[in-house]
Amino acid sequence: MTLLFRAVLFLGLVAPVLAAAPLRVVTLHSVLTEIATEVGGPEVAVTALLKAGADPHTFNPAPTDVRTLAQAELILGSGFGLEPYLDKLVANSGTKARIALARAVIRETVPTACRHGGHAHTHEEIDPHWWHGLANVRAVTQLVRDQLAALRPAAAAQFAARATAYAARLDQLAAWAQTEIATLPPARRQLVTSHEAFGYLARDFGFTIHSLQGVNPEAEPSARALAALIDLIKRERIRAVFPDSTENPKLLAAMLRESGATLGGTLYADGPGGADTPAATFAGMYRHNLTTIVGALR
Ligand SMILES: [Zn+2]
């Protein structure tokens, strides 16, 4: 046996093992974690930088995240300004990973207008909470499929099959949502939240959104904004208002007490909750939010 032949034989034995090493994917939102895990299957090892229930508006990477990023082959983020730390993290880690952002495949974005701010600012921002629109989640599923296939062409068929299966579940969810929303008269589709995060849900189902704080839950509401919102709730006879999972519901209730509206239940604005919540998966979050809204406003 020649040395060359032995080398070829050796490579022939080793190559399939190397090819089977899982593709290392780092995710920057829990819906991306779910999609990458579902579509990637055993061919992919997903590391979530943002754990379930983490607040994407205030997330800051830990020093150990630099090492995770350095070893990544694909980074999946949202875009929309939700990852202001990313450029620095990429530079510090020296990662050569591809970066794919949900923003790149979301065709119809929803602006957020500060309607009750009581101040004359007219600029429009884009709602970054893309995961509340099923069309967005479908588009991101295809993005993830394509990115994984580009990096592991040998497994492209598996990624495609799993993406199709995941999209079928999204179709079922969409059909369920149409039945659910049909029970709520259009005149009652008024959504009062403290954090303006449901622009895509509102667009899909004809809700008008009234929010106290705008898209960033860190911002403090003004007294004028609060008074305007209380007036509106009384005038429109809106039955319920909705705190979100990252804040104290009693605070919203106290602020809006004189409006006469009740607390409609907690919504998951910034993504799925932890494993012990009714919103542990994307579909769980979506169903929980819509059921809670429709049930309280009906
Ligand atoms: Zn948010």
Assess whether 56 and 159 both reside in one domain.
Answer: yes
31 Cα: distance to centroid of ligand 1 (angstroms): 13
C-alpha distances (whole Å) from 63 to each of 28, 49, 55, 67 are 15, 11, 18, 8
Backbone angles phi, psi at 158, to 5 degrees: -65, -45
Q: Which residues contact 117 (CB under 8 A, 6 or more apart)?
A: 214, 222, 224, 225
Single out the residue in 174, 203, 235 at which a domain terminates: 174
Sort 16 into a burial class: Cβ within 10 Å, 0-12 / 13-18 / 19+: exposed
217 Cα: distance to centroid of ligand 1 (angstroms): 7
196 Cα: distance to centroid of ligand 1 (angstroms): 7
117 Cα: distance to centroid of ligand 1 (angstroms): 18
219 Cα: distance to centroid of ligand 1 (angstroms): 11
> Which secondary structure element, helix H or strand E, spans residue 184, and what is its range?
none
183 Cα: distance to centroid of ligand 1 (angstroms): 27
C-alpha distances (whole Å) from 61 to each of 35, 87, 165 are 21, 12, 33
140 Cα: distance to centroid of ligand 1 (angstroms): 18
Residue 86 lies in a domain: yes
The percentage of residues in the chain with a pLDDT greater than 90, rounded to a whole number, is 68
In the three-class reduction of DSSP (H, G, I as helix; E, B as strand; rest coil), residue 223 is classed as helix
Task: Give me the number of domains the chain comprises.
Answer: 2
137 Cα: distance to centroid of ligand 1 (angstroms): 16
Q: Write out 94-140 in H/E/C secondary structure.
A: CCCCEEEEHHHHCCCCCEECCCCCCCCCCCCEECCCHHHCHHHHHHH
DSSP-assigned beta bridge partners for residue 191: 209
Assess whether 104 and 214 both reside in one domain.
Answer: no
11 Cα: distance to centroid of ligand 1 (angstroms): 50
Assess whether 144 and 108 both reside in one domain.
Answer: yes
Given a cut of 50, whether residue 150 has pLDDT beyond it is yes
C-alpha distances (whole Å) from 85 to each of 7, 79, 260, 270 are 46, 11, 41, 18
Single out the residue in 159, 174, 189 at which a domain terminates: 174
Assess whether 190 and 168 both reside in one domain.
Answer: no
- Note whether 127 and 111 are within 8 A (CB): yes
Assess whether 208 and 156 both reside in one domain.
Answer: no
- Note whether 233 and 265 are within 8 A (CB): no
pLDDT of amino acid 111: 86
289 Cα: distance to centroid of ligand 1 (angstroms): 14
Position 13 confidence tier, pLDDT thresholds 50, 70, 90: low
Single out the residue in 148, 174, 200 at which a domain terminates: 174
Assess whether 140 and 223 both reside in one domain.
Answer: no
- Note whether 245 and 222 are within 8 A (CB): no
Instruction: Identify residue 277 by its one-letter amino acid code.
Output: T
For residues 220-239, average pLDDT: 86
273 Cα: distance to centroid of ligand 1 (angstroms): 13
Tokens at residue 136, please? 């967005």
Assess whether 167 and 30 both reside in one domain.
Answer: yes
The DSSP secondary-structure symbol of 213 reads S
Assess whether 53 and 92 both reside in one domain.
Answer: yes
5 Cα: distance to centroid of ligand 1 (angstroms): 59
223 Cα: distance to centroid of ligand 1 (angstroms): 22
Sort 173 into a burial class: Cβ within 10 Å, 0-12 / 13-18 / 19+: middle
pLDDT of amino acid 122: 43
CA-nearest of 73, 100, 104 to 86 is 100
pLDDT of amino acid 121: 44
Assess whether 202 and 105 both reside in one domain.
Answer: no
195 Cα: distance to centroid of ligand 1 (angstroms): 7
214 Cα: distance to centroid of ligand 1 (angstroms): 9
pLDDT of amino acid 106: 96
58 Cα: distance to centroid of ligand 1 (angstroms): 10
Residue 8 lies in a domain: no
Winning range, highest mean pLDDT, from 146-150, 191-195, 230-234 = 146-150
CA-nearest of 189, 223, 185 to 209 is 189
161 Cα: distance to centroid of ligand 1 (angstroms): 32
CATH number at residue 191: 3.40.50.1980
Given a cut of 70, whether residue 32 has pLDDT beyond it is yes
pLDDT of amino acid 87: 96
93 Cα: distance to centroid of ligand 1 (angstroms): 27
Q: Report d(CA 235, CA 203) in Å as an integer.
A: 23
248 Cα: distance to centroid of ligand 1 (angstroms): 15
Residue 10 lies in a domain: no
Residue 11 lies in a domain: no
For residues 203-212, average pLDDT: 90
Assess whether 215 and 100 both reside in one domain.
Answer: no
Q: Report d(CA 233, CA 230) in Å as an integer.
A: 5
Q: Could you tell me the residue range of the domain that residue 89 belongs to?
A: 20-174
Assess whether 72 and 142 both reside in one domain.
Answer: yes
56 Cα: distance to centroid of ligand 1 (angstroms): 7
pLDDT of amino acid 193: 85
Q: Which residues contact 11 (CB under 8 A, 6 or more apart)?
A: none
Given a cut of 60, whether residue 10 has pLDDT beyond it is no
Assess whether 132 and 199 both reside in one domain.
Answer: no
- pTM listed for this prediction: 0.88
Given a cut of 60, whether residue 90 has pLDDT beyond it is yes
